[in-house]
């Protein structure tokens, strides 16, 4: 394989922060980190090769998260992410973050708006790369905060069409059911497409609820959908796209090995699978390394890669004219 489909649909802004940036943000804020150099800090903010639990995976975020609650930090990490993705040759990326996690007071609408504006401004520095911004609502937080996030997305799009490309629900699906957020997502009224983190840490039914109650057009991960053949059928027939993130699933213990991962099985079954990074800095990966991993593990043919490129274009939260251009670009790269 010479190249790979240069598109990432599942990429968390806060999981893509460079270690050197964390050090600088800490210095500026007078914030104490457990280490003072990049190699030493990497041991705390990147998971080790033997990480296989969600707890260890999430622990890495805690170290630097307080540094990501200013608009300066958000603008900077967004700009640096764009630069990094452009250097890697990506042509389209949908970046996501949860505004309520990146402000001092998540109930303060002005702070939420400022956080999103800062990220949009950082992303707008892109030269070649095209970006979309997905706002994440968060399980475990009160549904009215999801409502605020959704309202903000709709307001921004009314003021400047296309500011926000989609809405996500992240967080602990094993403890906070999709039904808690159904009313909030009902406010979308079909104005923005929805992707939901589901069937990663909870059984297949979590993805079913994401589709039925929250209107998901895409599922983040969806690893455990394989446990329910009926749901696999629904996902295929409705053309629900699956945002697969292999290394992340391995590191969080969602699968115990890549051989156990349903990626290849889903592809063979005609599901709309895509390949993405999730938290590239935390995981110590790039989109290219994930493609290399997938190729090595599953022996993907050129036809498989072309199919995944077409899937990704089909799944992207863009309008139909842009979708056609994107698909042609992705395929011509291969
Ligand atoms: Zn994710």
> Rounded to a whole number, what is the distance in angstroms from the first to the last CA of the chain?
8
Would you state the pLDDT for residue 216? 98
Q: Catalogue all structural domains in the chain, each as residue range(s) with its CATH number.
A: 7-332 (3.20.20.140)
What value does the mean pLDDT take over residues 123-142? 97
Nearest alpha-carbon partner for 249 in 288, 293, 206, 215: 293
Ligand 1 center to 230 CA (angstroms): 25
How far apart are alpha carbons 89 and 91 in whole angstroms?
6
H or E element in which residue 93 lies = strand 92-97
Strand order in the sheet with 241-244: 7-12, 92-97, 130-139, 166-171, 194-198, 216-221, 241-244, 272-275
* 138 C-alpha to ligand 1 centroid (Å): 11
User: For residue 10, how many C-alpha atoms fall within 13 Å in the half-sphere facing its CB?
Assistant: 31
Whether residue 313 has pLDDT greater than 80: yes
pLDDT digits (tens, 9 = 90+) for 170-196: 999 999 999 999 999 999 999 999 999
Tell me: the pLDDT tens digits for 69-113? 999 999 999 999 999 999 999 999 999 999 999 999 999 999 999
**Mean pLDDT score of the chain, rounded to an integer?**
96
Q: Determine phi and psi for 187, rounding to 5 degrees.
A: -65, -15
Q: Give the up-direction half-sphere exposure of residue 256: CA atoms within 13 A in the CB hemisphere.
A: 0
How many angstroms does the Cα of residue 276 sit away from the middle of ligand 1? 9
Question: Which residues, listed in sequence order, are joined to residue 137 by a DSSP beta bridge?
Answer: 169
Ligand 1 geometric centre to CA of 17 (Å): 15
CA of 170 to the centre of ligand 1 (A): 7
Q: How far is the CA of 130 from the centre of ligand 1 (A)?
A: 20
| pTM metric for this prediction | 0.97
Whether the pLDDT of residue 263 is over 70: the answer is: yes
Model confidence at 267, in pLDDT bands (50, 70, 90)? very high
Average pLDDT over residues 206-215: 98
Enumerate the active-site residues.
Answer: 200
Nearby residues of 27 by Cβ (< 8 Å), 6 or more positions away: none
Using 50, 70 and 90 to split pLDDT, how confident is the model at 36? very high
Q: Residue 82's closest CA among 31, 38, 133?
A: 133
pLDDT, tens digit, for every residue of 64-80? 999 999 999 999 999 99
- pLDDT > 90: what percent of the chain? 96
DSSP one-letter string for 150-173: HHHHHHHHHHSTTS--EEEEEE-T
Write out the H or E segment, with its range, that includes residue 328. helix 320-332
Query: pLDDT value at position 55?
Result: 86
- pLDDT tens-place string over residues 218-256: 999 999 999 999 999 999 999 999 999 999 999 999 999
**What Cα–Cα distance (Å) separates residue 178 from each residue in 55, 60, 142, 189, 325?**
22, 26, 12, 17, 34
- pLDDT of residue 1 exceeding 70: no
Reported residue count of the chain is 334
Q: What is the mean pLDDT of residues 297-320?
A: 97
pLDDT above 80 for 2: no
CA of 165 to the centre of ligand 1 (A): 16
- Give residue 218 CA to ligand 1 midpoint distance, Å: 12
Distance (Å) from CA 176 to ligand 1 centroid: 16
d(CA 222, CA 273): 10
Ligand 1 center from residue 71 Cα (angstroms): 22
Contact 135, 164 (CB under 8 A): yes
């Amino acid at each position: 394989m010479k190249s790979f489909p240069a598109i990432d649909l599942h990429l968390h802004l806060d999981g893509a922060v460079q270690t050197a940036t964390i050090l600088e943000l800490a210095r500026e804020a007078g914030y104490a980190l457990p280490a003072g150099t990049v190699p030493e800090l990497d041991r705390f903010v990147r998971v080790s090769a033997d990480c296989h639990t969600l707890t260890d995976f999430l622990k890495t975020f805690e170290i630097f998260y307080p540094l990501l609650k200013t608009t300066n930090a958000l603008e900077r990490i967004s700009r640096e992410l764009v630069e990094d993705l452009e250097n890697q040759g990506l042509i389209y990326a949908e970046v996501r973050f949860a505004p309520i996690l990146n402000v001092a007071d998540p109930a303060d609408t002005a702070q939420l708006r400022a956080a999103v504006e800062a990220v949009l401004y950082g992303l707008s520095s892109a030269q070649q790369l095209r970006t979309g911004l997905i706002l994440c609502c968060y399980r475990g937080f009160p549904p009215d905060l999801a409502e605020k996030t959704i309202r903000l997305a709709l307001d921004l799009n009314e003021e400047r069409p296309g500011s926000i490309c989609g809405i996500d629900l992240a967080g602990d699906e094993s403890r906070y059911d999709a039904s808690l957020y159904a009313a909030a997502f009902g406010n979308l009224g079909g104005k923005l497409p929805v992707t939901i983190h589901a069937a990663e840490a909870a059984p297949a039914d979590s993805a079913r609820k994401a589709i039925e109650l929250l209107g998901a057009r895409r599922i983040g991960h969806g690893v455990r959908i394989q446990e329910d053949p009926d749901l696999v059928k629904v996902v295929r027939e409705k053309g629900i796209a699956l945002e697969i993130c292999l290394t992340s699933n391995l590191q969080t213990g969602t699968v115990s090995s890549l051989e156990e991962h349903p990626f290849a099985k889903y592809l063979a079954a005609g599901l709309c699978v895509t390949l993405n990074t999730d938290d590239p800095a935390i995981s110590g990966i790039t989109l290219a390394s994930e493609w290399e991993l997938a190729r090595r593990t599953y022996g993907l043919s050129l036809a498989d890669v072309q199919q995944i490129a077409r899937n990704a274009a089909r799944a992207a939260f863009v309008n139909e004219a842009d979708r056609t251009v994107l698909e042609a670009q992705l395929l011509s790269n291969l």
